[in-house]
Amino acid sequence: MALEDAKTQIDHAFTRPDAAGLSFENAFGGATSFLRRRYTKDLAGIDVAFTGIPFDQAVTHRPGCRFGPRAVREASSLQPYDPPYGWGYSPLEAFSVADYGDMPFDYAKVWEVPAAIEAHIAGILDQGAAAITLGGDHFITLPILRAHAAKHGPLALVQFDAHSDSWADDDPDRIDHGTFVYKAVEEGLIDPARSVAIGIRTENPDTRGVTVIDAPEVHRTGPDAVAARVREIVGTGPCYLTFDIDALDPAFAPGTGTPVWGGLSSGQAAILLRELAGLDIVGGDVVEVSPQYDTSGATAVAGAHVAMEILCLWGWTRRG
């Protein structure tokens, strides 16, 4: 840590002189942004924009992930001092990264939210930046995929989750976090033959053609073998990565709305994510962090690390 910098840096969320570089602001002080990046709506020259979508009105059980983006930003304040361990490069120094802030919406007009999310993400992509989103419940991934598919065409989906989220739903007006995969397949946003769901441990026989690697398989075969299989399934085309924090076992991420035992450890998830390096990740999200159910803050910490790993994956094929 650069002690001289720590003595002078404060509120980098607003005072950063540039969009690339590490930050040495005291983790316990200052205005919080994701990884101490500067808040801006002007993405000229920005490679990656983090944004929050604090929407949780599509949940089937406990609400509260509307507070996820704020908690993940705060938890990320320990990360921007050094390059992320094990990657061999420094994405915060290699790329210009900004915090685009949260998406505004009228919470009393829920029916307007899907189009608002799609437009919000399209607004980032249209400025030439990649979008990594902090949720929010898992419904938000559907309109995010619409924006990405409009730019890249049908995507491979890599989904970390306890639930398949592929329950049948032919009503286009329903807003439900358990049906986004079903609708994404039906709308042609994702190619199920190139898509995979990891960590599943709830019953739903209809996967819409998406390959499922359930949590017991991860435990039995190990994350390296699973990652190799994922790379084989996804191939070389554009890929979107969505990480529901309930993919982790409640011992590692109790702060979520629909916890299920028998999930991945944070160590397994870290290995899996890093072994996916080389996939053409064009965007991603981490969702379902509900900090009020976790007095330790561990769930938000996990969410912040997942978001950093998505940044590392995006940068891996674009560095240097």
From the annotation, which residues make up the binding site for Mn(2+)?
138, 161, 163, 165, 244, 246
Beta bridge partners of 65: none
What whole-number distance in Å separates Cα of residue 40 and Cα of residue 61?
Answer: 34
Residue 263: both structure tokens together: 């999930």
Q: How far is CA 319 from CA 24, 163, 294, in A?
A: 23, 33, 36
The continuous run of DSSP H or E covering 98 comes out as: strand 97-102
Q: DSSP state, 104?
A: P
Burial-class residue 297 by CB neighbours within 10 Å (0-12, 13-18, 19+): middle
Residue 114: both structure tokens together: 């899907």
**At residue 280, what are phi and psi to the nearest 5 degrees?**
-85, 75
Binding site, annotated residues: 138, 161, 163, 165, 244, 246
Q: Which of 176, 180, 148 is nearest to 164 (CA)?
A: 180
Q: Cα-atom radius of gyration of the chain, to the nearest Å?
A: 18
**At residue 178, what are phi and psi to the nearest 5 degrees?**
-100, 5
Widest distance between CA atoms in the chain: 59
Beta bridge partners of 280: 238
What whole-number distance in Å separates Cα of residue 261 and Cα of residue 250?
Answer: 6
